[in-house]
């Protein structure tokens, strides 16, 4: 059984699927013979599957179960699969009408070799599979989409090495697959484009290269304006680990574009907790204004930890101004005036309540408190990554 047959059976057979697509049965029958469903039908079939609650994923289009497993080295369930790395993320990357199966394996972005062959419109022939069978080290045989002898002179040594370093892995659907480094897609496309240009110059007519070169050129246009790594991260969901989009949405809701009203935000219990840990009492504090070091403490335990970039954005919205007479810097407004009332202030209160709980859990011991908060609410670097505790010697 091949990929096309497997998918067609999920829909109830050739005639049923043909009816759903509004096509003749001969079209679907042709898919069963070639084993490949054209890329333009993938999105349509996935949508139909969702509407009818049929279990179908993008990876199903690349599975090819053949009777002779030596003829299918891209997807093979075997005993050695347990030793292979597993894909953590998977997605389908559309490029100008083509769809490539993308995965992230041990942090490495890869494309399935079979999906590349499908996109280029190439299926390995008998000579190709014969070389696969007779070669002990299968990785030494170039993938089917670059296996034609007339392409050999256009494949650089560097590209050949990368192609021979294909990754065997277990897909998110549990099948053994093989893929290549996603960053070499442009180099693969360049092989076809260069070959066609050279053949045209030499007056050589090759219909196969004309078709594949056009597909390759269309792919180049598809990713020309965006880095391939970012594209793969997006379709596989790998970018969600960095939470860039989520962070941006949070910051937009948490902060105000312009200064708002001053709302009492910090409860007395918060200040009492800090004072106790710093060996101060209310009687020790100057009437009215809090001690200057309290601002550093708030930046440390609140704004530097509530979310990435919050402190930097607050400082940019509420910059320090230098007093001409004294030379000292001060801020004209309170940071809380730039925090959204409906979303930001409730989030701030949640954070402050947790800080108070940590103070209690530490027995109001500053050093113990810092260890607890560093473990449970670590600070953020300016780029949004988690930062190690730097200390605050200026307030000790």
Joined together, the tokens standing for residue 302 give 């609140």
Same domain, 234 and 263: no
* d(C-alpha 255, C-alpha 42), whole Å: 42
Q: Which of 26, 56, 86 is the last residue of a domain?
A: 56
Q: Is the pLDDT of residue 280 over 90?
A: no
Q: Are residues 191 and 257 in the same domain?
A: no
Residue numbers of the domain that contains 98 = 68-239
Residues 386 and 330 in one domain: yes
Q: Does the predicted model carry a pTM greater than 0.75?
A: no
Shared domain check, 387 and 332:
yes
Stated as kind and residue range, the H or E segment containing 104 is strand 98-105
The residue among 339, 180, 373 whose CA lies nearest residue 262 is 339
User: CATH code at 25?
Assistant: 1.10.260.40
User: Mean pLDDT over all residues of the chain?
Assistant: 76
Among residues 206, 223, 239, which one ends one of the domains?
239
Q: Is residue 62 part of a domain?
A: no
CA distances for 91 relative to 80, 112, 233, 239, 317, angstroms: 25, 11, 9, 12, 39
**Does the pLDDT value for residue 381 go beyond 80?**
no
Looking at the fold, whether 182 and 260 belong to one and the same domain comes out as no
Token pair for 214 = 């056009």
Clarify whether residues 312 and 173 are in a common domain.
no
Name the least confident of 57-71, 80-94, 346-360, 369-383: 57-71
Query: Does 63 reside within a domain?
Result: no
For the residues 130-159, what does the mean pLDDT come to?
72
Whether residue 181 is found in the same domain as residue 294 = no
What's the total number of domains in the chain?
Answer: 3
Q: Same domain, yes or no, for 371 and 249? A: yes
Q: pLDDT digits over 215-249, tens only?
A: 888 777 666 545 566 667 777 776 665 455 555 66
pLDDT for 38 equals 77
Among residues 212, 239, 266, the one where a domain terminates is 239
Confirm whether 61 is domain-assigned: no
Taking 80 as the threshold, does the pLDDT of residue 373 lie above it? yes
């Amino acid at each position: 059984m091949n990929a096309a047959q497997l998918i067609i059976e999920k829909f109830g057979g050739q005639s049923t699927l043909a009816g759903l697509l509004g096509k003749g049965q001969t079209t679907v029958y042709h898919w069963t013979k070639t084993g490949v469903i054209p890329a333009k039908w993938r999105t349509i079939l996935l949508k139909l599957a969702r509407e009818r609650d049929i279990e179908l994923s993008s990876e199903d289009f690349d599975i090819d179960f053949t009777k002779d497993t030596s003829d299918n080295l891209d997807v093979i369930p075997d005993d050695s699969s347990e030793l292979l790395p597993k894909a953590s993320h998977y997605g389908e990357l559309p490029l100008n009408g083509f769809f490539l199966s993308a995965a992230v394996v041990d942090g490495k972005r890869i494309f399935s070799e079979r999906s590349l062959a499908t996109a280029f419109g190439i299926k390995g022939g008998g000579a190709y599979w014969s070389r696969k069978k007779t070669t002990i080290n299968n990785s030494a045989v170039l993938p089917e989409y670059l296996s034609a002898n007339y392409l050999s002179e256009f494949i650089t040594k560097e590209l050949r090495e990368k192609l021979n370093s294909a990754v065997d892995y277990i897909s998110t659907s549990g099948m053994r697959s093989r893929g290549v480094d996603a960053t070499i897609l442009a180099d693969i496309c360049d092989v076809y484009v260069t070959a066609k240009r050279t053949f045209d110059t030499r007056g050589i007519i090759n219909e196969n290269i004309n078709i594949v070169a056009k597909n390759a050129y269309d792919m180049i246009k598809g990713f020309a304006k965006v880095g391939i790594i970012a594209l793969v991260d997006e379709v596989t969901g790998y970018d969600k680990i960095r939470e860039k989009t989520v962070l941006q949405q949070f910051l937009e809701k948490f902060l105000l574009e312009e200064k708002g009203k001053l709302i009492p935000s910090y409860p007395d219990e918060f200040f009492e907790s800090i004072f106790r840990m710093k060996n101060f009492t209310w009687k020790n504090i100057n009437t009215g204004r809090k001690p200057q070091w309290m601002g550093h403490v708030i930046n440390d335990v609140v704004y530097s930890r509530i979310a990435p970039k919050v402190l930097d954005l607050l400082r940019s919205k509420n910059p320090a101004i230098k007093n001409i007479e004294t030379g000292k810097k001060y801020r004209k407004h309170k940071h809380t005036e730039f925090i959204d009332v409906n979303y930001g202030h409730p989030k701030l209160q949640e954070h402050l309540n947790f800080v108070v709980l940590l103070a209690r859990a530490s027995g109001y011991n500053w050093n113990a408190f810092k260890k607890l908060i560093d473990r449970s609410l670590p600070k953020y670097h300016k780029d949004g990554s988690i930062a190690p505790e730097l200390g605050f010697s200026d307030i000790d």
